């Protein structure tokens, strides 16, 4: 290529760039891959597919989107894949807080700093559930009974959000719990319905069917205020009738599971801005509201410095719990 043609090309480039609107500084140029750090059917997978269908429906980008599942190793597979794709802005990783929690407690080959945070776009609440015919009606009854005999608490995975919350309940409620890890919250719910464990801390959607069916009921919500009112779930109660744990004297004001979106490392600010905008547009649609409502999550949008400080705060807290439990990996 000679000097002349190079000059012509750059001149053409400047002219072209001038005609583009400022907001379209960067656009994806090939198919976008949504990496769900969960197996098909898991919460993170459902989220990625919901976002995909909304983007496709409203044609928010010209490029096609494919969802791939990399849920091996409690999601580590997907994060490691994201780390290995550094510099590739056509891969978007969908995860949870285990992006920063997992590296702290097990020897996985990634850390959240290997990825570029885009946003936290939804939050799942946690509740304390017991079997329908359990004798205790309030949290203090539960704590009293648990102090007398060591209760069995079920949850999804080990040293993950469920177990962290279990350890917090132990500490603040002055009781001792035996934590039994299962593969998923759904499994823990069935074990509770069968009376094989005493309680679990499932997300609302994981135990909704069981509550309606009169097999288990929530004692309290780990949330600063009561859950939003919706249609009644059982004959007499809906989500907003569940007291918060603080109301019931168990002083854990807030515990949530954020759904997080990441790009691989080494991407440009333009590319980050594109995806932040994209997620904002997705959140503005009625389909998104519908999805959030049906899966009983809380709509939220954290990005930039807010998201960073959220991660820091959560990480500090987890470090404290993990150090107390001796979970930290050297």
Partner 1 sequence: MENLHELLHGFTIAVTMPHLALMVIGVLLGILVGVLPGLGAPNGVSLLLPLTFGMQPVSAIILLSSMYWGALFGGSVTSILFNIPGEPSSVATTFDGYPMARDGRPTTALATAFGSAAFGALVGVVLITFLASWVARVALAFGPPEYFAVYFLAFASFVGMGGAAPIKTVVALAIGFAIAAIGIDTVSGSVRLTMGVDELVKGVSFVVAVMGLFGIGELLVAVEEEVHARGVSSKIDWREVLRAVVRLPRHGIALLRSAAIGCWMGITPGGPTAASFMSYGIARRFSRRGQHFGTGEIEGIISPETADHAAGTSALLPMLSLGIPGSATAAVMMGGLMIWGLNPGPMLFVDQKDFVWGLIASMYVGNIVAVALVLLTVPIFAALMRIPFVIIAPLIVIICVVGAYSVSNSYLDVIMMLGFGVVGYLFKKLFYPLAPLVLAIVIGDKAEDAFRQSMLLSKGSLGVFFANGLVTSLVVAGLALLLLPLGLQIAHVLRKPGERKSIAPDSEDTTRQKVRVT
Neighbours of 255 (CB within 10 A): 19
> Two tokens at 55?
């983007």
* 157 contributes a contact to partner 1 by CB under 8 A: yes
Q: What residues numbered 55-114 form the site for partner 1, per CB under 8 A?
A: 56, 67-70, 72-74, 76-77, 80, 105-109
For the bound state, the minimum distance from the C-beta of residue 80 to partner 1, rounded and expressed in Å, comes to: 6
Nearer to partner 1, 42 or 264 (CB): 42
Angle at 199 (CA atoms; ends 97, 175), nearest 5 degrees: 90
Nearer to partner 1, 228 or 304 (CB): 228
For the bound state, the minimum distance from the C-beta of residue 296 to partner 1, rounded and expressed in Å, comes to: 10
For the bound state, the minimum distance from the C-beta of residue 15 to partner 1, rounded and expressed in Å, comes to: 40
Residue 181: name the closest of 208, 162, 202 by CA. 162
Q: How far is the first Cα of the chain from the last one, in angstroms, to the nearest whole number?
A: 54
Neighbours of 240 (CB within 10 A): 13
What are the φ and ψ backbone dihedral angles of 94, each rounded to 5 degrees?
-105, 125
Binding region for partner 1 (CB under 8 A) out of 137-145, 158-166, 264-272, 303-311: 158-166
Nearer to partner 1, 80 or 115 (CB): 80
For the bound state, the minimum distance from the C-beta of residue 208 to partner 1, rounded and expressed in Å, comes to: 5
Q: What residues numbered 176-215 form the site for partner 1, per CB under 8 A?
A: 178-183, 186-187, 189-191, 193-194, 196-197, 205, 208-210, 212-215
Q: Cα(321)–Cα(37) distance, rounded to whole angstroms?
A: 24
Q: What residues numbered 7-26 form the site for partner 1, per CB under 8 A?
A: none
For the bound state, the minimum distance from the C-beta of residue 195 to partner 1, rounded and expressed in Å, comes to: 8
Nearer to partner 1, 116 or 295 (CB): 295
- CA max distance for the chain: 87
* 257 contributes a contact to partner 1 by CB under 8 A: no
Q: Are 85 and 91 in contact (CB under 8 A)?
A: yes
Strand 32-36 and strand 91-95: the pairing is: parallel
For the bound state, the minimum distance from the C-beta of residue 161 to partner 1, rounded and expressed in Å, comes to: 12
Nearer to partner 1, 20 or 109 (CB): 109
Binding region for partner 1 (CB under 8 A) out of 1-9, 34-42, 121-129, 311-319: 34-42
Q: Cα(215)–Cα(47) distance, rounded to whole angstroms?
A: 27
Binding region for partner 1 (CB under 8 A) out of 13-21, 120-128, 288-296, 313-321: 288-296
Residue 171: name the closest of 322, 9, 12 by CA. 322
Nearer to partner 1, 139 or 318 (CB): 318
For the bound state, the minimum distance from the C-beta of residue 229 to partner 1, rounded and expressed in Å, comes to: 18
Nearer to partner 1, 138 or 158 (CB): 158
CB neighbour burial string for 49-81, b if at least 16 within 10 angstroms, e if fewer: bbbbebbeeeebbeeebebebbbeebbbbbbbb
Angle at 166 (CA atoms; ends 165, 170), nearest 5 degrees: 115
Q: Is 184 left (phi over 0), alpha (psi -120 to 50) or beta?
A: beta
Q: Which residues in this chain contact partner 1 in the complex, by CB under 8 A?
A: 39-42, 45-46, 49-50, 52-53, 56, 67-70, 72-74, 76-77, 80, 105-109, 152, 157-160, 163, 178-183, 186-187, 189-191, 193-194, 196-197, 205, 208-210, 212-215, 291, 294-295
């Amino acid at each position: 290529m000679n000097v002349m043609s190079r000059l012509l090309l750059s001149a053409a480039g400047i002219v072209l760039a001038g005609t583009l609107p400022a907001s379209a500084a960067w656009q994806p140029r090939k198919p976008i891959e949504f990496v769900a750090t969960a197996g098909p059917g898991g919460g993170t997978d459902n989220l990625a597919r919901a976002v995909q269908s909304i983007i496709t429906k409203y044609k928010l980008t010209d490029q096609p989107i494919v969802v791939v599942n990399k849920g091996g190793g409690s999601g580590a597979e997907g994060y490691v894949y994201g780390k290995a794709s550094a510099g590739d802005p056509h891969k978007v990783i969908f995860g949870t807080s285990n992006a920063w929690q997992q590296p702290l407690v097990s020897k996985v080959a990634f850390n959240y700093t290997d990825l570029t945070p885009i946003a936290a776009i939804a939050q799942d609440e946690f509740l304390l559930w017991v079997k329908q015919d359990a004798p205790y009606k309030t949290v203090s009854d539960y704590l009293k009974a648990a102090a007398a005999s060591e209760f069995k608490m079920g949850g999804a995975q080990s040293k993950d959000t469920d177990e962290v919350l279990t350890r917090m309940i132990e500490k603040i409620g002055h009781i001792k719990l035996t934590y039994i890890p299962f593969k998923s919250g759904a499994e823990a719910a069935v074990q509770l319905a069968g009376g094989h464990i005493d309680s679990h801390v499932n997300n609302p959607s994981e135990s909704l069917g069981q509550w309606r069916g009169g097999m288990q009921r929530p004692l309290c919500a780990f949330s600063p205020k009561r859950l939003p009112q919706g249609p009644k779930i059982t004959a007499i109660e809906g989500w907003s009738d569940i007291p918060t744990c603080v109301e019931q004297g168990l002083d854990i004001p807030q515990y949530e599971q954020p759904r997080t979106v990441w790009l691989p490392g080494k991407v440009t600010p333009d590319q980050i801005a594109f995806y932040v905008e994209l997620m904002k547009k997705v959140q503005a649609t009625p389909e998104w509201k519908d999805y959030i409502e049906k899966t009983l999550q809380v709509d939220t949008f954290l990005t930039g410095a807010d998201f960073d400080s959220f991660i820091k705060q959560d990480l500090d807290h987890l470090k404290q719990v993990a150090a107390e439990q001796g979970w930290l990996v050297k």
